[in-house]
Structure 1
Amino acid sequence: MNTDPIADYLTRIRNAIRAKHRVVEIPASNIKKEITKVLFDKGYIQNYKFDETGPQGTIKIALKYNPVSKQPAIVDLQRVSKPGLRQYRAHDELPRVLNGLGIAILSTSKGVMSDKEARTLNVGGEVLCYVY
């Protein structure tokens, strides 16, 4: 039984990058789909596809690598808010990841978004993870 599906999602992506896989397949949920959309919009993944077959469905993510140096676009993924200790931030306390080079993904009242979008909308929320 998995008690933290977002941590499992991040770990599967992290392991696929370390193994130099092109595609990773992850069990789907609504929050995972929204995080995937944010990663795609910010350019951290190449493409994604939601497959609705089966009871839960899956997310297929095509990972992005530099064609010359073969370095992944995602250097690290860190889970911030955990089931045992939730991390909430107001709009004026939102974290800056690597001085703005990375992003923080937040779950807000207006949906899942990056920290930069949340600052422009003046909304705070739960800090799910850091990506850089």
Structure 2
Amino acid sequence: MINDTISDMLTRIRNANLAKHETVNVLNTKTNQRISEILKKQGYIESVKISLNPLDLIEIKLKYNGNLKKPCITNLKRLSSPGLRVYSSYKNIPRILNGMGTIIISTSKGLMTDQEARNNKIGGEVLFSIW
């Protein structure tokens, strides 16, 4: 049984990128669905295929640049874990690469990027960073 589905999802994506796989399957949870939608909207992955059956997996098609298959995702880092939660107000949300990277935050209004959280003036749990 997997206790931390977010870390499992990030590890699967990171490993698939290193192995230059076209697709990766992750567990079908509401949090993973929302994270994959945000990553698609931000341009880090190419497409997401979510099954209607909650027991199935989410299929994520990874995005690569050029003929050399350079991954669009350079780094994925989990910032808040079940053992050490990291919370931040909207004023103190860290910036990754001076705004070039993205931080995903769990707020009272749902999962959103760091930019959306600053615009809505909402803080929350800092889940992970990606660039």
Kindly indicate whether residue 18 of structure 2 is the aligned counterpart of residue 18 of structure 1: yes
Q: Which moved more, 1:68-77 or 1:113-122?
A: 68-77
Q: What is the root-mean-square deviation in Å for CA atoms of aligned residues?
A: 1.0
Query: Could you tell me which residue of structure 1 aligns to residue 77 of structure 2?
Result: 78
Residues 78-128 of structure 1 show CA distances to partners (whole Å, capped at 9, x for unaligned) of: 001100011110010011011111000001111111001111111011111
Kindly indicate whether residue 116 of structure 2 is the aligned counterpart of residue 107 of structure 1: no
Percent identical among aligned pairs is 47
Query: Could you tell me which residue of structure 2 aligns to residue 51 of structure 1?
Result: 51
Q: Secondary structure at the match of 2:7?
A: helix
Gapped runs of 5+ residues in structure 1?
none
Query: Could you tell me which residue of structure 1 aligns to residue 28 of structure 2?
Result: 28
Equivalenced residues, count: 131
Structure-2 separation of matches of 1:93 and 1:65: 32
Query: Could you tell me which residue of structure 2 aligns to residue 127 of structure 1?
Result: 126
Q: Secondary structure at the match of 1:10?
A: helix
Structure-2 separation of matches of 1:87 and 1:56: 30
Residues 3-50 of structure 1 show CA distances to partners (whole Å, capped at 9, x for unaligned) of: 211100000000000000001011110000011011001000000010
| Conservation of the 8 A alpha-carbon contact between 1:52 and 1:58 | no
Q: Secondary structure at the match of 1:51?
A: coil
Runs of 4+ in structure 1 deviating by more than 2 angstroms, as ranges, are none
CA apart distance, 1:56: 2.1
Gapped runs of 5+ residues in structure 2?
none
State the TM-score, normalized to the length of structure 2. 0.96
| Conservation of the 8 A alpha-carbon contact between 2:5 and 2:27 | no
